[in-house]
Amino acid sequence: MEQFKAFWITKEEDAKKPNAAEWRDITIDDLSAGDTVVRVVNSTVNYKDGLAFAGNPGVLRKFPMVPGIDVIGEVVTSESDRFKEGDQVIMNGFGVGEVHTGAYAKYARLKSEWLIKRPEGLSAERAAAIGTAGYTAMLCVMALEDYGIKPNMGPVAVSGAAGGVGSVAVSILAKLGYTVIASTGRLEEADFLKGLGASEVMDRAELSEPGRPFGKESWAAAIDVAGSHTLANLLARTNYGGAVAACGLAQGMDLPATVMPFILRGVSLLGVDSVMAPIERRQEAYRRLVEDLELSKLDALSSKIKLSEVPEKAADILKGKVRGRLIVDYSEL
């Protein structure tokens, strides 16, 4: 196969220098091993992608590396009997873009057991708009449903509501009939969040500062992308018998909380992992996304960028400057 363009990150020997990311020509042989080659049609930019370009050692664990954790594309060749040439597929997570070369190239070589077929009724661009962030949002909603949280039990709070996970979670919850309290550090996005279905918008400072170990009951459940004080405060204000689905650490990986919400109110903390989730759970999440995410709202919270713009947007996403979802267009390749 011919040479093709890719973002290629190499490790600097001097730990004080950022890892070098360059736009260069590579071949299939430069990619990690896999039984299926996919021509990438679209991808997106997630918080983890931003960390990869920033050289975060907790994300990039093998070099050289093609970053990009979301692959939406078309099968070129496969040694698996599950896929054939021309199949439209989606891949999220599994260490791709971290320890296995990822999406920001014309082709990706992947393991077939990581792939699912793109559902009918979901375009490649909309699958990219969903990406790991939207798929994680659906996993969080499913975790709350599995726990028994219902719309009539009270509102659901969502942290980081203007970001990728948060904006999709707000939209899904609203369509399912939940009252949504959207927390954001960008109050200028209040109209945007209410357009997605939020009933109330609160300043994230109310949650992100150190709080009391036990607060006034304010919501039946919550979805948290932040960790640290935000997660502690969400737990402290969750109603009796409620739950918080936690999926991120944008504020920090610590949890400065006490056991009081757990033992005095019976609150549960539900961990949500999107990276290694079983294929069956992924397929169910995407089936639900097609049904329960209002696709016109997905379009409204999405914008399109060129593949060459990814490093700039990856930096912006770490600064909280990206609203909603980004669709990476590969047509320039």
Give yes or no for residue 146 having a pLDDT over 90: yes
222 and 191 both lie in a single domain: yes
Residue 234 lies in domain: 133-271
pLDDT at 175 over 80: yes
Which of 204, 182, 160, 164 lies closest to 47, judged by CA? 164
Residue 1 confidence (pLDDT): 63
What is the pLDDT at residue 183? Answer: 98
pLDDT digits (tens, 9 = 90+) for 230-242: 999 999 999 999 9
Let me know whether 140 and 264 are in one domain: yes
* C-alpha–C-alpha distance, residues 26 and 244, integer Å: 44
What does the DSSP 8-state code read for residue 162? T
For the stretch 211-270, pLDDT in tens is: 999 999 999 999 999 999 999 999 999 999 999 999 999 999 999 999 999 999 999 999
Is the pLDDT confidence value at 290 over 80?
yes
Same structural domain, 180 and 70: no
Clarify whether residues 92 and 174 are in a common domain: no
Bridge partners of 89? 73, 117
- Measure the CA–CA gap between 70 and 104, rounded to whole angstroms: 9
Cβ neighbours for 167, distance < 8 A, ≥ 6 positions apart: 161, 193, 196, 301, 323, 324, 325
Buried/exposed code over 127-158 (b: 16+ C-beta within 10 A; e: otherwise): bbbbbbbbbbbbbbbbbbeeeebeeebbbbbb
Q: Is the pLDDT of residue 40 over 90?
A: yes
Helix (H) or strand (E) holding 237: none
Assess whether 91 and 218 both reside in one domain: no
For residues 311 and 193, state if they share a domain.
Answer: no
CATH number of residue 8's parent domain = 3.90.180.10
**Number of folded domains in the chain?**
2
**pLDDT, tens only, 102-121:** 999 999 999 999 999 999 99
Give the mean pLDDT of 113-133. 96
SS3 12: coil
Q: What is the pLDDT of residue 18?
A: 58
Q: Are 186 and 203 in contact (CB under 8 A)?
A: no
Does one domain contain both 140 and 238?
yes
Looking at the DSSP bridge assignments, the partners of residue 4 are 26
CATH of the domain at 139: 3.40.50.720
Same domain (yes/no): 318, 266: no
Contact yes or no for 235/261 (Cβ under 8 A): yes
Average pLDDT value for the chain: 95
Tens-place pLDDT, residues 50-104: 999 988 878 988 999 999 999 999 999 999 999 999 999 999 999 999 999 999 9
Looking at the structure, tell me whether residues 226 and 306 fall in a common domain.
no
